[in-house]
Amino acid sequence: MLRRLASALMASILLSLAACGSTKTFDAAGKISVSGAHWDGSGTMTCEGVNGFDDMQVGVQVVIRNSAEKIIGNGSVESTTWDYANKVCDLAFTVPDVPVQKDDIYTIEVSHRGEITFKQSEAGSLALTLG
């Protein structure tokens, strides 16, 4: 009897631990369009921020926080593309594995440029502007 109880208790603990490891997540991705930017003039169409937007370039940090202002996701700008028609630099970013929050309220901040609020349903196509 005691052995059966111990086995049942161990199975319950293992199931609880497995449930803890199965946190639902999503990826937040999108772009930030910077009007204060410079095209490098090459055929690659890469670009970067200038004139006060110098931090807007590949590698700049992208942070996601929950409604309690706790950081729950980190990513970075991965690539840039010059939008010749609109004269802006589009910086593409991804923040992988953001934990789903019950209240569905998140903020995103690129570099130190201020936070924008969004919901999980918007996370796959975030479109931000600067300048």
Q: List the domain boundaries for the chain.
A: 24-130
- Quickly tell me which residue has 């980190």 as its tokens: 74
Render the burial of 112-128: b for 16+ CB within 10 Å, e for the rest: eeeeeebeeeebeebeb
pLDDT higher than threshold 90 for residue 73? yes
pLDDT higher than threshold 80 for residue 69? yes
Of residues 2 and 54, more confidently modeled: 54
DSSP at 21: T
What does the pLDDT look like over 1-14, one tens digit per residue? 545 544 444 444 44
**Has this prediction a pTM greater than 0.85?**
no
**Averaged pLDDT, 30-45:** 80
Average pLDDT score, the chain = 82
Cβ 29 vs Cβ 93: under 8 Å: yes
Name the CATH code of domain 24-130 (choices 2.40.50, 1.10.3470, 1.10.150, 2.60.40).
Answer: 2.60.40
Cβ 50 vs Cβ 40: under 8 Å: no
Cβ 72 vs Cβ 98: under 8 Å: yes
